[in-house]
Amino acid sequence: MKVLNRLPIWVLIATWMVVGTTLPGLSGWASGVRDPNDVLVHDEHAYLLQADTFAHGRFTNAPPRHPELFESPHILVEPSYQAKYPPAQALFLAFGQRCLGHPIWGVWLSCGLFAAALYWMLAGWTNRLWAMLGTEFAVAVLGITHYWATSYWGGMVAACGGALVLGGTRWSMRRWSTVRALLTGLGTVILANSRPYEGAVVCLACAPALAWWLLSGSGVQRRRKLIGWCGPFVLVVAAGAAGMALYNRAVTGSWKALPYVLHQKQYMTFGTFRWQPINQVPERRLSTRVRLFYEEDRLTNPGTPGGPQLGAAGVDFSLRQAFLSLFQSFISPFNLLPKSAVRESPTDGSWLLVVFGASTAWFLCTTKRWGLLHAAWSILILEVLAGAAAWWTLCHYQAPIVCLCYFLAIDWLRRVILAFRRTRLLRFVRVQGAILVLMLLIPTVALESRIDRLFQDQGPSLPQVVAIASPLPSSSRGLTRPQLVEFLARQKRPAIAVVSYDSGILLSQEWVYNSADLESQRVVLAHDLGPKELPMLVTDFPGRDLWHVRVTPRGATLWRDEDSPRTPVSVQRPDSRIGED
């Protein structure tokens, strides 16, 4: 403890930055990274389009001449061609793509920033030794093979923003400085551009504490805080708000209209929140596969079998699912064990959750003064209640409060150790010694399970709700999407490929995703909407060969437009002949 206190805190923060970036990088080097050309989760393709746009130095792209041919889930094609999501996650991916050669580097960089921000936050809420333990546990759970660290879907960026806001609030109340004000403002901007709804809840929860702190003290102290702290904070937030307004105007045509909200109006039959109607008529109702996805897929239609539940039952289910997810995804020590050692039942570890909840309730009731434990639980409960107002609850939706989960975990452990020390059970056990033992035990167990996972080649641990979006089996005789793109890219002339699907292909397995530069892209994929649309497509993309692609459960077959539509082109592979039906 004395050694940690002697070191400047920026040294420890920089160390966690390096560790948090290196561990997922080593994991990716050992097991490989997700191919952006593969059939990924819809959201990942949208973020990659957004990142490619930013990497080219612009906010958005011109809409395609016939947008219905290029519609894909979570992507706007009118009034501009861009993803619907806030830009924070894609900015990290764009940095990795433009500066380091691959968007996955942006994901790993966000892992390092989260580890650094989490340590800084926990050091303010506890002390440096306990912060070291909490950050180590978080990196072991989330920073190696978790989908936050291995996919393009996000989670780490919003978690970093939440840690900066909560850490900046606590540090400023202890001893304010301009740097802490800037970091708090930066965290606010990150939350507004990654998880704006959930982030707003965290910021509003911190606002009363900051207001009380700003207005306390003498008149001179209040003026100093208003100038030295509020000035830099407001400056950063104002700059972020101006950037958001410019981005909204470029994508939607209005600085007030969020791309997410515009996309909701164009495609969805329901609003984002439970109090909004579920029988809306979308603005774009075309006979395309995307319309089927939004209007018929069970996951995107509340009240349907397998979809979000309605009424009080739905709210109750969301609340229970949210609390259980927070514990099982972030706090439970079972996250350190190999998946093969933990049963897949949703009630696994429920006994541990009961013990954790009962002992926490006891700590809350026996603590005489309102403290950080009460504040953390208040913010967490408020966030969960706000999340229940929306239709879905996924792990990365709760990213802004993940730092509080690790604070609650180490605070619970600290209180348990102190409670046992008051008895004769652990009378001679030193707290610092117990922490050091846990700090050695966590990486040992975590690395063993992660190495086991890498050799088993299980891939990233995506949420159960999107398991249907996995790529086609590698043993398929047909072409996978990366093989299709690679084959067409090797042809002498650029290609435009129209894609159709067998009835056995799920709506979640979408192949029509393109980069930001449709005109200069060597291989362009479009929907096959019938022979009437083909002349327009050829006119819009002159100088290209027209190909037909048929996606089947066994893979994809393709043929040139001038060939017989049932005479697929043969593509040789060292081990087999693929591309034939």
Q: Each residue of 529-539: pLDDT tens digit?
A: 888 888 888 88
Does the structure show a pLDDT above 60 at 473? no
End-to-end CA distance of the chain: 66
479 within 8 A of 489, measured Cβ to Cβ: no
| Residue 329, φ and ψ in degrees, nearest 5 | -85, -30
State both tokens at 95: 């940095």
What is the per-residue pLDDT for 446? 56
Q: Which residue has the higher pLDDT, 143 or 431?
A: 143
Dist CA 478 CA 474 (whole Å): 9
What is the per-residue pLDDT for 4? 75
Measured torsion, CA atoms of residues 371, 372, 378, 381, in degrees rounded to the nearest 10: -140
96 within 8 A of 105, measured Cβ to Cβ: yes
Q: Dump pLDDT digits (tens) for 419-436.
A: 777 766 555 556 556 566
191 within 8 A of 199, measured Cβ to Cβ: yes
Does the structure show a pLDDT above 60 at 569? no
Residue 160 — very low, low, confident or very high, per pLDDT cuts 50/70/90?
very high
Q: Dump pLDDT digits (tens) for 246-301.
A: 999 999 999 999 999 999 888 888 888 888 888 778 888 777 788 878 877 766 77
Dist CA 411 CA 360 (whole Å): 10
Q: Is the peptide bond before 79 cis (omega within 30 degrees of 0)?
A: yes
Which of 130-139, 302-311, 326-335, 340-349 holds the top average pLDDT?
130-139
290 within 8 A of 72, measured Cβ to Cβ: yes
Which residues are 496's β-sheet partners? Answer: 524, 546
How distant, in Å, are the alpha carbons of 318, 320, 412 from that of 360? 22, 17, 7
pLDDT-wise least confident of 40-49, 334-343, 361-370, 407-416: 334-343
189 within 8 A of 237, measured Cβ to Cβ: yes
Q: Which residue has the higher pLDDT, 428 or 76?
A: 76
| Residue 461, φ and ψ in degrees, nearest 5 | -85, 80
DSSP string, 229-268: IIHHHHHHHHHHHHHHHHHHHHHHSSTT--HHHHHHHHH-
| Residue 34, φ and ψ in degrees, nearest 5 | -70, 130
| Residue 97, φ and ψ in degrees, nearest 5 | -70, -45
Which of 188-192, 215-219, 502-506 holds the top average pLDDT?
188-192
How many CB atoms within 10 Å of residue 352? 15
**Alpha carbon 379 to its chain's center:** 21
Residue 417 — very low, low, confident or very high, per pLDDT cuts 50/70/90?
confident
Dist CA 139 CA 122 (whole Å): 13
What is the per-residue pLDDT for 448? 54
